[in-house]
Amino acid sequence: MTEYNLPDNNGRYGKFGGKYVPETLITPLEELEKVYLEAKSDPEFIKELNALNKEYTGRPTPLTFAERLTKHYGKGKIYLKREDLCHTGAHKINNALGQILLAKRLGKKRIIAETGAGQHGVATATVCAKFGLECHVYMGEVDIERQKPNVFRMRLLGAEVIPVSSGSKTLKDATNEAIRDWVANVGNTHYIIGSVMGPHPYPMLVRDFQSIIGIETKAQILEAEGRLPDYAIACVGGGSNAMGMFYPFLNDSVKKIGVEAAGLGLDTDKNCATLTLGQEGIFQGMKTYLLQDEFGQVLEVYSISAGLDYPGVGPEHSYLKDSQQVKYVSIDDKQALAATALLSKLEGIIPALESAHAIAYLESLAPTTTKDDIIIVNVSGRGDKDLQTIMNNLG
């Protein structure tokens, strides 16, 4: 098997990816790529990021053996990668820290970001507070309503939260507004994209900053079990926690499973299972699978989980789907809620609704395994932010 080595020089993963952006953004994207490639091989940069990951975020995060969950299914040996224990409560901080260091190198004083669930917004507001940079977070009005604690958290951290009222008023529209802001303010502004999406080099650099998840997992499972896992599972919205988990295993025989949100069901129009139901499209700077109508208009999508509620997906996932290196499945709202309750009761871990989609896939997977099969599920974030939603649905 040839070593996995994407993206290519044009920022493509097979036919996906690229730089489908207005001309204004080409120069800043080239600058960002140059600065990133320099930083990546600069020992000082690596040292600073490692120190922040350790002393600020609290890395490495544990790999927890889920004893009662394992017993519950009676098959498979289930481990949880605990990104919920990161400072700010989700994996998003891994990328935000990497990018704030790049912003410093770029000499940019103003930071913008988009957010869906608010986890990336909180992570960005956090690193901006730590480094003393001005922070503006675009967030859809629907998401502001369903993720109130995170909105307050961002404001407390000194960020301005800008409500977005266009389109479906969710992550997609927040991203449009952030890109428009960047087009107008490229001179002094760095855009911290929160997932492995958008134009090159973002999908690559976000993946690289998140791949600490998989790198740690690999070392931890080798220590615990003396071998690699049989399965690695992660949820996919834009797909950053999944890329972070999968990327270090791409050259290994580990079976990788990405779990999308089926919302109210794949047979309804209330879902966001992009890789399952989407078609090739060009959207927000990238060529990727996209949920769209017959005229190429992007569909308004839905999931109970604000972090998965996105009609596109990172271009590398589109490539990994077509090349069959990762299997993509979907889980609906009800299954995700049930998994939230299950993990809370059996393991004392309240997962984010996003992460609950990955947990929920154990219902299908575990019965097909043997008791020696090692399964790792990435718990990408904690569920505190979702308590209101969970109460409304389970309470």
Partner 1 sequence: MANISNYIDKINSKGEKALSVFLTSGFPQKENFVDLACSVFDAGADILEIGFPFSDPLADGPVIQNSSHLAIQNGINLKTTLEYAEKIKAKNDKPIILMGYANPILKYGIKKFAQDAISAGVDGIIIPDIPINEYEEFYDSSFDPLDIILLITPTTNGKRITEIDNISRGFVYCVSVSGTTGVRNFAQNANNDFLANAYSLIKKNKTMIGFGISTPEDVKKFSPYCDGVIVGSAVIKTLFEEQKNYANTLKLISSLKQACKSA
Residue 329: which of 386, 383, 255 has the closest Cα?
255
Q: Which stretch binds partner 1 (CB under 8 A): 36-44, 124-132, 292-300, 328-336?
A: 292-300
Single residue of 290, 343, 374, 390 touching partner 1 by CB under 8 A: 290
Q: Which stretch binds partner 1 (CB under 8 A): 22-30, 53-61, 128-136, 248-256?
A: 22-30
Integer angstrom CA distances of residue 280 from 77, 242, 276, 277: 37, 20, 12, 10
Taking the C-alpha atoms of residue 342 and residue 321, their distance in angstroms, rounded to an integer, is: 29
The question of whether 323 is a catalytic residue gets the answer: no
Taking the C-alpha atoms of residue 195 and residue 91, their distance in angstroms, rounded to an integer, is: 11
Single residue of 81, 153, 169, 172 touching partner 1 by CB under 8 A: 172
Single residue of 66, 97, 154, 179 touching partner 1 by CB under 8 A: 179
Contact present, 187 and 107 (Cβ < 8 Å): no
Q: Coil, strand or helix: which one is 68?
A: helix
Pair type for strands 77-82 and 134-140: unpaired
Start-to-end Cα distance in the chain: 50
Report the nearest approach of partner 1 to the CB of residue 321 (Å): 18
Backbone angles phi, psi at 13, to 5 degrees: -110, 95
Report the nearest approach of partner 1 to the CB of residue 155 (Å): 25
Report the nearest approach of partner 1 to the CB of residue 19 (Å): 5
Nearer to partner 1, 27 or 392 (CB): 27
Which positions from 132 through 171 interact with partner 1, judged by CB under 8 A?
166-167
Size of the site for partner 1 (CB under 8 A): 37
Nearer to partner 1, 191 or 249 (CB): 191
Nearer to partner 1, 64 or 185 (CB): 185
Q: Which stretch binds partner 1 (CB under 8 A): 73-81, 174-182, 221-229, 364-372?
A: 174-182
Which positions from 181 through 210 interact with partner 1, judged by CB under 8 A?
183-187
Residue 386: which of 81, 89, 77, 83 has the closest Cα?
89
Strands lying side by side in the sheet with 279-283: 12-13, 16-20, 285-290, 279-283
Single residue of 14, 20, 158, 269 touching partner 1 by CB under 8 A: 20
Residue 8: which of 275, 198, 204 has the closest Cα?
204
Residue 127: which of 162, 86, 163, 164 has the closest Cα?
86
Q: Which is catalytic among the residues 92, 218, 256, 385?
A: 92
Backbone angles phi, psi at 111, to 5 degrees: -115, 135
Nearer to partner 1, 21 or 111 (CB): 21
Sketch the per residue contact string, 296 through 315, with partner 1: x for CB under 8 A, - otherwise: xxx-----------------
Residues catalogued as catalytic: 92, 114, 380
Catalog residues that contact partner 1 under the rule CB under 8 A. 10, 18-28, 166-167, 172, 176, 179-180, 183-187, 279-285, 290, 292, 294-298
